[in-house]
Amino acid sequence: MPNFCRTICHKNRDLRIYVIKYSNVIMNYYFHLRDCMALWDHRTQQRRSLKLLDARLLDDMGLSTAAAEEEAGKPFWRA
């Protein structure tokens, strides 16, 4: 077998070992990212809905107009 074939086979074996070893870490990162994006989307939807409420509904919820505007003005990544 030529030398370059041995090198390619060895590199593929190393890649397989790397993928097996770190696949759990990669999947955990993916799931965390997915959950984080879902949370950001939920915050965005909630804040858009908050902007649409009138003073009477905000009062029923126990929020002032200023507090609602402040919450609605936050970027999606802030809690």
DSSP class of 78: -
DSSP calls for 51-71: HH--HHHHHHHT--HHHHHHH
Q: Where are the domains of the chain?
A: 3-72
Can you give the pTM of this predicted structure? Answer: 0.68
Query: What is the CB-side half-sphere exposure of residue 79 using CA atoms within 13 A?
Result: 1
Percent of the chain with pLDDT over 90: 65
Rounded-to-integer distance, Cα 50 and Cα 52, Å: 5
Q: What is the pLDDT of residue 36?
A: 96
**Mean pLDDT to the nearest integer, 47-76:** 95
- Is the pLDDT score of 16 beyond 80? no
DSSP class of 75: -
**Mean pLDDT to the nearest integer, 32-57:** 96
- Is the pLDDT score of 5 beyond 80? no
- Is the pLDDT score of 9 beyond 90? no
Rounded-to-integer distance, Cα 50 and Cα 68, Å: 7
Label residue 7 by pLDDT band (50, 70, 90): low
